[in-house]
Amino acid sequence: MQALILAGGSGTRFWPLSRRRRPKQLLPLDGEESLLRETLLRLLPLVSFEQIWVATTAALAPAVHREVPEVPATQILAEPEGRNTAPAIGWAVRSMPAAARQDLIAVLPADHRVADAPAFRAALARAAEAIAEQDRVMTLGVTPHRADTGFGYLEIEESTRAGGAHRVVRFIEKPDAAKAEEYVASGRYLWNAGIFLFRGTTLLELLARHAPDLAGGLEAIAAEPARTAELYARLPATSIDYAVMEKLTDLGTIPLACGWSDLGSWEALAEALPPDAHGNAGTGERVAIEAHDNLLFAESGTIAVLGVDGLVVVRTGDTVLVLPKARSQEVRKLIAELTLRGRHDLL
């Protein structure tokens, strides 16, 4: 099996910890290692470093290489620019040597958290078995434990087959709260975690059938590698879900229950970290008195709080962020303001 890690993200939701040149996947958010490195280490019993490929942007490629130096440099694929997941995956698979391309390829985001790595690997192994039985694309869908409106859902067929594989009936965009409640209660829906397994040649065939513009563009790049940047910029910037997955009638899924989180915000991180007796979680040196349910994240120095509840407090070498946990997504408003002020050194 080969693993293709998607590490091109440039999100701002973990500002001030995340910066343009140090996005989320390069941060040690929930432990000692960066999320990217954790993603690789989690796979190691299944694949060797020589079977790992990392797709990222040209700007991030040097940092990615430093973070996972065991991965051969030729397998760190620097996209000329970020153009969503369909071009990233298609180009990466098309770039692999024929032997790798004919192998099973697991596609994994570099910035998710998995608490139970053995359960994760077992699900991936079951997906591989399902493909051995019948060649198709498999996805791992996360068993939902709350009616989250922040994820896309996969509706699955009720019948359970051997190995726990289900057929995906349809992809559902982020639902409203009522729908999300209904989905979770029914037991027939999984969160779409963006984790896929396929034979590389199969994916290229599916691209040719369902996304001929993209497939044609990839062939043009393969024919004229010197024009990669120019041709890549013309590829349709669509997601792999939209380009391929939603159009499949035989997409299979293995339910995944492994303490998964996409760590989509400071609030999500707060939920993933172990709380103390007062509900405070975090990292670094922190002192909390008569304070509850806070995330106290000290990358540098000490955080001291007293008499505050439900806050996110982040301290980096140059910045402090304070906001209510429930408004974590609004950190983008602060970034917009700093951008207006021209404080690019802080972004």
What's the chain's length in residues?
347
| DSSP class of 225 | G
Q: Does 46 bind a copy of itself (CB under 8 A)?
A: no
Site map for a copy of itself, 249-288, x if CB under 8 A? --------------------------------------x-
Determine contact, residues 13/25, Cβ cutoff 8 Å: no
Write the Ramachandran bin of 155: left for phi over 0, alpha for psi from -120 to 50, otherwise beta: beta
Of residues 26, 61, 93, 311, which one binds a copy of itself by CB under 8 A? Answer: 311
Smallest gap from residue 25 Cβ to a copy of itself (A): 23
Which is closer to a copy of itself, CB of 84 or CB of 319? 319
Of residues 140, 206, 295, 313, which one binds a copy of itself by CB under 8 A? Answer: 313
Beta strand spans in 128-280 (E):
138-142, 153-156, 166-172, 189-199, 252-256, 260-261
Smallest gap from residue 345 Cβ to a copy of itself (A): 10
Which is closer to a copy of itself, CB of 243 or CB of 311? 311
CA distances to 4, 39, 70, 100 from 50, in Å: 11, 15, 8, 10
Of residues 333, 342, 344, 347, which one binds a copy of itself by CB under 8 A? Answer: 333
User: How far is it, in rounded angstroms, from Cα 125 to Cα 253?
Assistant: 12
Smallest gap from residue 247 Cβ to a copy of itself (A): 41
Q: Supply 103's token pair.
A: 């192998």
Tell me the window of 52-60, 91-99, 181-189, 314-322 that interacts with a copy of itself (CB under 8 A). 314-322
62: Cβ–Cβ under 8 A, 6 or more apart, which residues? none
Q: Give the distance between the most distant pair of CA atoms in the chain.
A: 65
Which is closer to a copy of itself, CB of 1 or CB of 346? 346
Exposed, middle or buried, 141 (CB in 10 Å: 0-12/13-18/19+)? buried
Contact set for a copy of itself, span 3-42 (CB under 8 A): 16
Chain positions contacting a copy of itself, by CB under 8 A = 16, 287, 289-290, 298, 301-308, 311, 313, 315, 317-324, 327, 330-331, 333-334, 337-338, 341, 343, 346
